Amino acid sequence: MTAVDPQVSAPPRTDGPTSVRDVLGAYVGLMKPRIIELLLLTTVPVMFLAQRGVPPLGLVVATVLGGTLSAGSANALNCVYDADIDQRMRRTRRRALPRHMVSTRAALVFGLALGVVSTLWLGLLVNWLSAGLALAANVFYVVGYTMILKRRTTQNIVWGGAAGCFPALIGWTAVTNQLAWAPVVLFMVVFFWTPPHFWALAIRYREDYAAADVPMLPVKAGAKVVAKQIVAYSYVMVATSLLLWPVAGTGWFYPVVAAVLGAAFLVESHLLLLRSRDTDDVVALKPMRLFHWSNMYLSLLFVAVALDPLLLR
């Protein structure tokens, strides 16, 4: 999944770590905890849906910790490969590697170690299907997105964002040890959610991406073209979210919440399209409105996924 810290940062420090706290903070930063928060939010609710109630606390803890380590591994390895890009972008140049808080070799070892530990943790304490899915997501994000797609195509986030969809599958298999159509539907919801979410951010920081030679769609196409694609993906996302109702046999609560949230998302995406017809100016476009709403949308949708089976009891 691809949630990103939207803060514009000050020029990077290059004096290296000055304390143990600096070093620990740098390693935590490599894991990109704000992104992990959103990934876990799409894991735990699916466990409630799979359990048709409250899953065992120990299983939730083991899955959350294993998922955190796995996502942290992918994010750390992403930081290693993209250190040159991060150095050139205002939004990312205060990360650990551009500021020389951690060496490249140390970050690489850290990322690989997290990957090994997370796979073993999930395999031994949850199940090997969940461990395999987490490892597949890790490899796809690092190799498929970061190393192959990101610098080569305007559709990088469309296909590369699939890595962020795996938590829905992992949450389900952690409880059932098998796949089913319900988590696949939620996988696809996150898949179609990712382009509107990330392209809204990329509109705001398109100068950053242009400076780093990353061919994000908003860099290569005008705001109107991007907004049209955002609207199209938004409709497919909302339609897919409603499919969970018949596929998973949910109660009334989930489809009502999904419909209301989806309508609000569509309104916000259409407002962006309307603004794009009059201007290409980033400030006037207000793309961060859609970015922040997209985070809220996904969070509330998956909260509804978790609450629905509890209301049926």
* Within a domain: 7: no
Distance CA 41, CA 299 (A): 7
Distance CA 216, CA 219 (A): 5
**Do 250 and 210 have their domain in common?**
yes
Residue 54 scores a pLDDT above 50? yes
Q: Over the chain, what is the mean pLDDT?
A: 92
Residue 239 scores a pLDDT above 80? yes
* Within a domain: 58: yes
CB 50, CB 172: distance < 8 Å: yes
Structural domains of the chain, count: 2
> In terms of Cα–Cα distance, which of 292, 305, 253, 296 is closest to 43?
305
Find the domain containing 75 and state its range: 20-178
Domain C-terminal end among 178, 208, 226: 178
pLDDT tens-digit readout, 115-160: 999 999 999 999 999 999 999 999 999 999 999 999 999 999 999 8
Distance CA 173, CA 41 (A): 16
**Do 158 and 238 have their domain in common?**
no
**Do 64 and 167 have their domain in common?**
yes
Expressed in percent and rounded to 5, the helix, strand and coil fractions of the chain are 75, 0, 25
For the chain, helix (H) and strand (E) counts, in that order, are: 16, 0
CB 121, CB 244: distance < 8 Å: no
* Within a domain: 4: no
pLDDT computed for residue 17 by the predictor: 58
Give me the CATH number covering residue 290.
1.20.120
**Do 124 and 188 have their domain in common?**
no
* Within a domain: 173: yes
| pTM as predicted | 0.91
Conformation bin of residue 11: beta by default, left when phi > 0, alpha when psi is -120 to 50: beta
Domain C-terminal end among 178, 205, 228: 178
